[in-house]
A = this chain, B = another copy of it.
């Protein structure tokens, strides 16, 4: 047997790796709670590294713990093709988010091994550290550092919301590698991911070709006030940072509704106040919020409204707003040629497909800053994700996996 246009991956083998992963770091029933740089993250990494070695791949770990598993090409000097995603999950995460993309790369390699097909260019399967940002904010730091957006030592210093620092936790789980976290010459980056939205499932599509990402803008704001008694302190003498935070997140939600008709979204995802106890007004509150909209100008307007809402909320609570961090991503960042190649495979293989925009953040957004990048979306039931009820069947991956296989091999062999 040799690699032909009719070659297909083994859905069963792919699914068996999904099932093995689903046993590590289990959370609520059916879900995963495998936060970055925890013991269960290490356990999953160990398993993945073993799988890669068994598949004959050369495994390297970089300074931020990302795992690079390389299958040599017939021309090792040529820039490689990268296929990646992440094995960490949200605290109430599902079994597919990110994981499917890494294991898709592994299945692709195993499939080529079966057929003894060595591509011209090398293929590297990547697990990016801390895509979720669920323990260490912001998300996607390792791919960000890889392409020069973040400094390595800034990432090392990030503090987990349960206390320890990124660098210390990375060392503790034994995944602080020697390889510099710095992208070399890369021919193309592919990422397969579940959609994390309801569109493909609602339209009964088998696969989505990702054309870009919703322009998204996020902020981390700290409100500063003063502790005082909840009883006798007159309203006009209060500096309750918790109220500043509550007013801010309320305003953010209002922005989301104001722009919902154009498919805008605005989210308050975190409010951590101190002391946050009965009887006492809080003197600090940290909030994380973001806005997303398919139109870049509208997204910028929403972002500016969000920033001003923070100052207004602070003023209404007699507090001060300090912007600790801001980030943006999305837009028409993916490579037209790669997108065409994936579309061609969808047509050739006869899947029920559509173009789609990504609304979540992905490591692909960072990689797109560095090299031609594209994504493939697979359906998930009802769009439910970041939830233990995230649900996919093996067939949901059939189109995406096989399009990935052929798009990658075509690119790697050219």
Contacts and interface: CB of A to CB of B under 8 A. Distances in A.
A204 to B, nearest CB: 18
A330 B228 CA distance: 20
A18 interface: no
A237 B266 CA distance: 13
B235 A275 contact: no
B253 A269 contact: no
Nearest to A382: B237
Task: Count chain B CB atoms within 10 A of each CB in A226, A256, A263, A270 and give the residue with the most.
Answer: A270
Interface string A245-270: 11111100100110010011111111
A385 B269 contact: no
A314 interface: no
Contacts of A249: 242-243, 246
A232 B195 contact: yes
Contacts of A232: 195-198, 265, 359-360, 383, 385
Task: Count chain B CB atoms within 10 A of each CB in A197, A231, A361 and give the residue with the most.
Answer: A231
A275 B228 contact: no
A230 interface: yes
A271 interface: yes
Given A359-B232, A360-B232, A253 B260 contact: no
Contact of A278 (B92, B139, B236, B359): B139
A280 interface: yes
Copies in the complex: 2
A283 B28 CA distance: 13
A282 interface: yes
Nearest to A230: B267
A288 interface: yes
A343 interface: no
Interface stretch (A57-65, A67-75, A130-138): A130-138
A346 interface: no
Contact of A139 (B242, B257, B270, B279): B279
Chain A interface category by residue count: 35 or more
Contacts of A81: none
B235 A90 contact: no
A29 to B, nearest CB: 13
A250 to B, nearest CB: 4
Interface string A39-71: 000000000000000000000000000000000
Contact of A90 (B90, B214, B237, B275): B275
Contact of A275 (B92, B266, B281): B92
A280 B269 contact: yes
Interface string A335-365: 0000000000000000000000001110000
A214 B231 CA distance: 9
A273 interface: yes
A277 interface: yes
Interface string A194-233: 0111100000000000000010101000000011111111
A129 interface: no
Contacts of A267: 230-231, 240, 281
A267 B231 CA distance: 8
A276 interface: yes
A406 interface: no
B271 A278 contact: no
A147 interface: no
B231 A279 contact: no
Contact of A279 (B90, B235, B281): B90
Interface of A: 90-92, 132-134, 137-139, 161, 195-198, 214, 216, 218, 226-237, 240, 242-243, 245-250, 253, 256-257, 260, 263-273, 275-283, 288, 290, 292, 316-317, 359-361, 383-387
8 contacts: A198-B232, A229-B385, A230-B265, A231-B359, A232-B360, A243-B250, A247-B250, A269-B278
